[in-house]
């Protein structure tokens, strides 16, 4: 398996120019690795993993990018395809291997690997298969990068983030799931598209399970600082609760719709995860709805459950959860979301 870095000879004929091409200056210290060297490892070189890797590369978020997958040919092909773009990108070391040793010293490990649901397969069975996969993935990642942040993307993301946390033994601030970061983006897109405003001016969270029981926090949506629901009341604009639920449903359906049309989703999750990577590695202290350990919040006490809450993120991972107000209904839905997840986790053997 090829690694990046200077090959010993140029081409199959063996032409070695290194010693002669550049001359060192006098009294120089030998080259030492730069202190600031950001390394990101992406586990899984499928559509999602590669969209994430390529977006990270384009946005210049890392000095070193590592790909790991079980399929060696596919992996090498993807690595070469990225390396061939060298003339168009800032210099980034790109490496790949089936062996996890290549991930050593990663600041961030992004796990996208996961078994796909077979037709007719029970959700619990799929989960068991993914737990088995994670037993092969998480321990080596931890061994080679004991200080890393684990960012889990594979589905079902909330449960697999919990699994990763248990298998890693890491403190909970360093194990995060991509959660509802993307659902919230789809939500913000719908609202922004209607109001003809930039999606970045729409503050809107979807929290809870990344899935059918997610919770849209209508009571805290604001646009340019204007809270939507109280605005509707003040303007005496009538709306039905069902309308809001339909909008939320359109968000949940968004992913299924893309899968039905093109076979899978990739670009949006790529941008979503690159966005999280930037906040984490550049210590941006931004608030993202991501899957974190939710025990103790909003009356969730049943067990160690991971689900998405608006969390402030920085270089050391999760700094805390934003104290967003939830009305009674939202709190109930969140607790119910937690129970759904907890019931499934209880049946796993971790």
Q: How far is the CB of 15 from a copy of itself (least distance, A)?
A: 5
- Give the whole-angstrom CA distance, residue 313 versus residue 320: 8
Residues with Cβ within 8 Å of 310's Cβ and at least 6 positions away in sequence, in order, are 205, 207, 287, 288, 289, 321, 322, 324
Build a one-symbol-per-residue string for 48-67: x at contacts with a copy of itself by CB under 8 A, - elsewhere: --xx--xx--xx--------
Residues 265-304 contacting a copy of itself, CB under 8 A: 265-268, 270-272, 274-275
- Please write down the long-range contacts of 182-187, taking CB distance under 8 Å and 24 or more positions apart: 182/255, 182/268, 182/269, 182/272, 183/210, 183/214, 183/251, 183/252, 183/254, 183/255, 183/289, 184/289, 185/268, 185/271, 185/272, 186/251, 186/254, 186/255, 186/268, 187/216, 187/247, 187/248, 187/251
Site string for a copy of itself, 79-118 (x = CB under 8 A): -xxxxxxxxxx-x---------------------------
Strand partners, 291: 177, 308
Q: Is 48 annotated as a binding residue?
A: yes
Nearer to a copy of itself, 87 or 120 (CB): 87
> From the CB of 289, what's the least distance to a copy of itself, in Å?
11
Does residue 189 belong to the site contacting a copy of itself (CB under 8 A)? yes
Contact range with a copy of itself by CB under 8 A, out of 103-111, 156-164, 234-242, 321-329: 234-242
> Does 3 show up as a binding residue in the annotation?
no
* Minimum distance, C-beta of residue 183 to a copy of itself, in the bound complex (Å): 9
Q: Which is nearer to a copy of itself, 55 or 345 (CB)?
A: 55
Is 229 among the residues that bind a copy of itself (CB under 8 A)? Answer: no
Give the HSE-up count for residue 102: Cα atoms under 13 Å, Cβ half-sphere.
21
**188 binds a copy of itself per the rule CB under 8 A:** yes
Nearer residue to a copy of itself within complex by CB, 114 or 270: 270
Residue from 2, 84, 194, 210 carrying the catalytic annotation: 210
Binding of a copy of itself by 243 (CB under 8 A): yes
Site membership for a copy of itself, residue 7 (CB under 8 A)? yes
295 burial (CB, 10 Å; 0-12 / 13-18 / 19+) is: middle
The verdict on whether residue 183 carries a ligand-binding annotation is no
Asked if 194 is an active-site residue, the reply is no
Minimum CB separation of residue 182 from a copy of itself in Å reads: 7
Tell me the catalytic residues. 210
């Amino acid at each position: 398996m090829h690694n990046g870095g200077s090959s010993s000879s140029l081409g199959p004929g063996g032409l070695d120019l290194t010693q002669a091409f550049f001359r060192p200056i006098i009294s120089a210290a030998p080259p030492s690795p730069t202190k600031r060297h950001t390394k990101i490892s992406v586990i899984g070189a499928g559509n999602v993993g590669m969209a994430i890797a390529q977006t990270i590369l384009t946005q210049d978020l890392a000095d070193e990018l590592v790909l790991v997958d079980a399929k060696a040919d596919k992996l090498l092909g993807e690595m070469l395809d990225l390396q061939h773009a060298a003339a168009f990108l800032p210099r980034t070391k790109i490496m790949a291997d089936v062996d996890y040793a290549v991930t050593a010293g990663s600041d961030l490990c992004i796990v996208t690997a996961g078994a796909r649901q077979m037709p007719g397969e029970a959700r619990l069975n799929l989960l068991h298969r993914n737990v088995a996969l994670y037993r092969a993935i998480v321990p080596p990642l931890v061994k080679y990068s004991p200080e890393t942040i684990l960012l889990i993307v594979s589905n079902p993301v909330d449960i697999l983030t919990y699994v990763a946390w248990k298998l890693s033994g890491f403190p909970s601030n360093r194990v995060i799931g991509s959660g509802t970061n993307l659902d919230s983006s789809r939500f913000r897109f719908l609202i922004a598209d209607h109001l003809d405003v930039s999606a970045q001016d729409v503050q809107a969270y979807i929290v809870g399970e990344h899935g059918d029981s997610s919770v849209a926090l209508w009571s805290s949506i604001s646009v340019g600082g204007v809270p939507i629901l109280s605005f509707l009341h003040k303007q005496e604009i009538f709306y039905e609760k069902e309308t809001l639920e339909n909008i939320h449903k359109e968000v949940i359906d968004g992913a299924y719709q893309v899968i039905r049309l093109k076979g899978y989703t990739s670009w949006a999750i790529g941008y979503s995860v690159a966005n999280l990577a930037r906040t984490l590695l550049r210590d941006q202290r931004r608030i993202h709805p991501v899957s974190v350990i939710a025990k103790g919040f909003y009356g969730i006490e049943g067990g160690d459950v991971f689900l998405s809450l608006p969390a402030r993120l920085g270089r050391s991972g999760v700094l805390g959860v934003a104290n967003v107000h939830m009305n009674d209904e939202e709190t109930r839905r969140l607790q119910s979301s937690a129970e759904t997840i907890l019931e499934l986790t209880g049946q796993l053997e971790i």
